[in-house]
Amino acid sequence: MTNESEIREQSPVPCLTDAEPLAVAREAAKILLNKKAAQLKLLSVSDVTVIADYYVIVTGRSSTQIKALADDLVYEMGRRGIDCAHLEGRDGGAWILCDFGAVIVHVFDRESREYYRLERLASPDAEVDCSDLLTPDDQ
Protein backbone atom coordinates (compact mmCIF):
# COMPACT_ATOMS: atom_id res chain seq x y z
CA MET A 1 0.00 0.00 0.00
CA THR A 2 1.37 3.43 -0.97
CA ASN A 3 1.06 6.33 1.46
CA GLU A 4 0.65 10.02 0.56
CA SER A 5 4.32 10.95 1.07
CA GLU A 6 5.44 8.17 -1.29
CA ILE A 7 2.95 9.37 -3.91
CA ARG A 8 4.20 12.95 -3.54
CA GLU A 9 7.80 11.81 -4.06
CA GLN A 10 6.86 9.86 -7.20
CA SER A 11 4.72 12.56 -8.83
CA PRO A 12 6.49 14.52 -11.56
CA VAL A 13 6.67 18.24 -10.87
CA PRO A 14 7.59 21.12 -13.17
CA CYS A 15 10.99 22.72 -12.76
CA LEU A 16 10.50 26.44 -12.11
CA THR A 17 14.14 27.45 -11.67
CA ASP A 18 14.12 29.71 -14.75
CA ALA A 19 10.39 30.48 -14.73
CA GLU A 20 8.91 33.95 -14.92
CA PRO A 21 7.49 35.29 -11.63
CA LEU A 22 3.89 34.89 -12.85
CA ALA A 23 4.46 31.17 -13.49
CA VAL A 24 5.95 30.82 -9.99
CA ALA A 25 2.98 32.67 -8.46
CA ARG A 26 0.46 30.53 -10.35
CA GLU A 27 2.21 27.33 -9.25
CA ALA A 28 2.15 28.49 -5.62
CA ALA A 29 -1.55 29.27 -5.98
CA LYS A 30 -2.19 25.83 -7.48
CA ILE A 31 -0.35 24.09 -4.63
CA LEU A 32 -2.31 26.04 -2.02
CA LEU A 33 -5.66 25.36 -3.70
CA ASN A 34 -4.85 21.64 -3.83
CA LYS A 35 -4.44 21.81 -0.06
CA LYS A 36 -7.84 23.50 0.35
CA ALA A 37 -6.73 27.07 0.95
CA ALA A 38 -9.65 29.50 0.65
CA GLN A 39 -10.21 32.95 -0.85
CA LEU A 40 -7.28 32.92 -3.27
CA LYS A 41 -6.11 36.25 -4.64
CA LEU A 42 -3.16 36.62 -6.97
CA LEU A 43 -2.11 40.25 -7.25
CA SER A 44 0.41 41.97 -9.48
CA VAL A 45 2.13 44.42 -7.12
CA SER A 46 5.21 45.50 -9.07
CA ASP A 47 3.68 48.95 -9.63
CA VAL A 48 3.29 49.59 -5.87
CA THR A 49 6.33 47.88 -4.31
CA VAL A 50 9.89 46.95 -5.19
CA ILE A 51 9.98 43.92 -2.89
CA ALA A 52 7.91 41.62 -5.12
CA ASP A 53 6.19 41.29 -8.46
CA TYR A 54 3.28 39.19 -7.15
CA TYR A 55 1.43 38.52 -3.92
CA VAL A 56 -0.46 35.30 -3.47
CA ILE A 57 -2.97 35.70 -0.64
CA VAL A 58 -5.01 32.85 0.83
CA THR A 59 -7.00 32.12 3.96
CA GLY A 60 -6.80 29.04 6.16
CA ARG A 61 -9.53 27.79 8.49
CA SER A 62 -7.36 27.19 11.56
CA SER A 63 -3.84 27.79 12.82
CA THR A 64 -3.10 24.12 12.16
CA GLN A 65 -4.22 24.40 8.54
CA ILE A 66 -2.34 27.70 8.08
CA LYS A 67 0.91 26.10 9.26
CA ALA A 68 0.28 23.03 7.10
CA LEU A 69 -0.41 25.20 4.04
CA ALA A 70 2.83 27.13 4.52
CA ASP A 71 4.91 24.03 5.29
CA ASP A 72 3.59 22.13 2.28
CA LEU A 73 4.03 25.15 0.02
CA VAL A 74 7.69 25.52 1.04
CA TYR A 75 8.25 21.79 0.48
CA GLU A 76 6.48 21.65 -2.88
CA MET A 77 8.11 24.81 -4.22
CA GLY A 78 11.50 23.41 -3.17
CA ARG A 79 10.74 20.30 -5.22
CA ARG A 80 10.21 22.64 -8.16
CA GLY A 81 13.56 24.38 -7.66
CA ILE A 82 12.24 27.47 -5.88
CA ASP A 83 13.54 27.89 -2.33
CA CYS A 84 11.82 29.98 0.32
CA ALA A 85 14.23 32.81 1.13
CA HIS A 86 12.40 33.74 4.31
CA LEU A 87 9.52 32.35 6.35
CA GLU A 88 7.89 34.64 8.89
CA GLY A 89 5.09 34.11 11.41
CA ARG A 90 5.03 30.34 11.60
CA ASP A 91 5.04 30.32 15.41
CA GLY A 92 1.94 32.52 15.59
CA GLY A 93 -0.22 30.77 13.04
CA ALA A 94 -2.42 33.80 12.23
CA TRP A 95 -0.36 35.11 9.29
CA ILE A 96 2.55 33.31 7.68
CA LEU A 97 4.63 35.00 5.00
CA CYS A 98 6.63 32.86 2.57
CA ASP A 99 9.17 34.85 0.53
CA PHE A 100 10.03 33.26 -2.82
CA GLY A 101 11.82 36.34 -4.16
CA ALA A 102 9.61 37.96 -6.79
CA VAL A 103 6.61 36.14 -5.29
CA ILE A 104 5.48 36.60 -1.71
CA VAL A 105 2.79 34.31 -0.34
CA HIS A 106 0.60 35.39 2.56
CA VAL A 107 -1.35 32.68 4.40
CA PHE A 108 -3.84 34.29 6.79
CA ASP A 109 -6.51 33.31 9.25
CA ARG A 110 -9.83 35.03 8.55
CA GLU A 111 -9.48 37.70 11.27
CA SER A 112 -5.95 38.74 10.30
CA ARG A 113 -6.83 38.91 6.63
CA GLU A 114 -9.79 41.16 7.35
CA TYR A 115 -7.68 43.36 9.63
CA TYR A 116 -4.65 43.83 7.35
CA ARG A 117 -6.56 43.85 4.02
CA LEU A 118 -3.44 43.59 1.86
CA GLU A 119 -5.60 43.60 -1.25
CA ARG A 120 -6.30 47.31 -0.74
CA LEU A 121 -2.60 48.12 -1.18
CA ALA A 122 -2.66 46.98 -4.80
CA SER A 123 -4.11 48.93 -7.69
CA PRO A 124 -7.74 48.17 -8.60
CA ASP A 125 -6.74 46.23 -11.73
CA ALA A 126 -3.95 44.26 -10.02
CA GLU A 127 -5.83 40.99 -9.61
CA VAL A 128 -4.59 38.24 -11.92
CA ASP A 129 -7.25 35.87 -13.20
CA CYS A 130 -6.76 32.39 -11.71
CA SER A 131 -10.19 31.01 -12.53
CA ASP A 132 -8.57 28.21 -14.55
CA LEU A 133 -6.98 26.91 -11.32
CA LEU A 134 -10.24 26.76 -9.38
CA THR A 135 -12.41 23.70 -9.03
CA PRO A 136 -16.18 24.05 -8.49
CA ASP A 137 -15.56 23.55 -4.75
CA ASP A 138 -13.13 26.53 -4.69
CA GLN A 139 -15.50 28.98 -6.38
Cβ atoms of 77 and 28 within 8 Å: the answer is: yes
**DSSP letter at 129?**
P
pLDDT at 137: 63
Yes or no: say if 103 and 28 are a contact pair by the CB < 8 Å rule: yes
Res. 110: pLDDT tops 80: yes
Q: Give domain limits for the chain.
A: 21-129
- The answer, yes or no, to whether residue 108 has pLDDT greater than 60, is yes
Phi, psi of 127 (to 5 degrees): -70, 130
CA gap 45, 12 in Å, rounded: 31
State the average pLDDT over residues 93-105: 97
Supply the pLDDT for residue 1: 47
Query: What per-residue confidence (pLDDT) applies to 3?
Result: 53
CATH T-level topology, domain 21-129: Beta Polymerase; domain 2 (3.30.460)
Contact 106, 58 (CB under 8 A): yes
pLDDT tens digits for 24-81?
999 999 999 999 999 999 999 999 999 999 999 999 999 999 999 999 999 999 999 9
Average pLDDT, the chain: 90
Stated pTM of the model: 0.88
Lowest mean pLDDT among 26-30, 87-91, 120-124: 120-124
Please state, for a pLDDT cut of 70, what percent of the chain lies above it: 88
